[in-house]
Amino acid sequence: MELFLQQLLDGLATGALYGALALSVVLVYRASGIVNFAQGEMAMFAAFLTWQAHTWGVPLVLAIGLSMLIAFAFGAGVERVLIRPFGTTAAAHLSLIIVTLGLMLVLTSGAGWTWGYLTKQVPPVFGEGVVDVGASAMSRQALGIILAVAVMSVLLYFLFQKTRLGLDMRAAASNPESARLSGIPVGRMLMLGWGLAGAIGALVGALAAPQLFLQPNMMAAMLLYAFAAATLGGFDSPVGALIGGLLVGVLENMAGTYIDIIGNDFKQAVALIIIMAVLLFKPEGLFGSRTVARV
């Protein structure tokens, strides 16, 4: 039982990160109707920026803030320069998938080129040590991650539900044509969506780096789990992405502990199985909206 509880808590902490990264995938999907395969690598790059700033003597929290700002600008720029020229029709999907894959590769090798492939040690944001939670213990970092993701989600909720800007963004995402006619600068809203996604990714990168050890390929597996989370929650649902992330985190940890054939090394298969199963049996996910194809 104790082991179970411990696994549950560990699963929640990693799940919060998967959920946050899934959230940035979902924000992009809602804005442009595509999956940004470079989302994880953008987060990795931002984590490197954080590390670089920190080694130059900038306090860690400030460094994270800075890299989030840069990631915001970068995300918005990517939308404007690389994505928008192709349009958002289904016919452009192949081109856009290829372009974001290209970006993914450029960022991985760019980070490798600049900082090398040796892992870097990143100090945990919330300090060392453990906190007792009932019968089990949780590291301060894990607890901090859950709290940080929770705070971020609440802020985003307020942005989207309670502010004019959030309303404009939702309008631009759900019906670009009408939004444009009511005077909403749709293009700028899309850039904002991508920018937010980039900033969230930067936060995820900085929070995950101490555990994953910072290196250019650190986010590949993480992105896989984030995709699983987004698929499980429904690709167009931010709430779904967060809940999906927690579920995937817990499932992955449990499967690794209790199912022998999966073990610790083969946990990534859990993500593949989740993605396959959800797409086959409930393609809209838990919280997503059903789409109907019209001829």
Partner 1 sequence: MSDERRTSGGMGAFGAVRQQLARLREPHAPLDAPTWLRVATFCLVAGVAALLPLYVQPYVNFDLSMVMIYAIVGMGLNLLTGFNGQISLGHSAFFATGAYVAAVAIQDGWHYLAVLPVAVVVTFVLGYLFGLPALRLQGLQLALVTLALAIVTPSAIKRLDDFTKGQEGINLYTAQPPEWTGLERDQWVYLLCLVGVLVAWILTRRLSTGRIGRSLVAVRDNETVARTLGVRSSRTKTMVFAISAAYTGVGGVLYVYVVQFVGPDSFGLVMAIAFISLIVVGGLGTISGAVFGAFFITYVPEWTAGINQAAAGMVYGLSLIIFMFVMPFGIAGLARAALRPVVDRVPGKRGLLSGQGAPTVGGRSAAVDEEELVGS
Least CB distance from residue 86 to partner 1, whole Å? 6
Least CB distance from residue 35 to partner 1, whole Å? 5
Nearer to partner 1, 24 or 153 (CB): 24
Q: Which of 3, 94, 131, 155 binds partner 1 (CB under 8 A)?
A: 94
Q: Which of 60, 82, 159, 171 binds partner 1 (CB under 8 A)?
A: 82
99 binds partner 1 (CB under 8 A): yes
Q: Which of 6, 7, 211, 268 binds partner 1 (CB under 8 A)?
A: 268
Nearer to partner 1, 79 or 168 (CB): 79
What are the CA-CA distances from residue 128 to residues 122, 155, 210, 265 (Å)?
A: 12, 27, 11, 26
Q: Which of 73, 92, 171, 286 binds partner 1 (CB under 8 A)?
A: 92
231 binds partner 1 (CB under 8 A): yes
292 binds partner 1 (CB under 8 A): no
34 binds partner 1 (CB under 8 A): yes
97 binds partner 1 (CB under 8 A): yes
216 binds partner 1 (CB under 8 A): yes
263 binds partner 1 (CB under 8 A): yes
Binding part of the chain for partner 1, among 162-170, 172-180, 218-226, 240-248 by CB under 8 A, reads 218-226
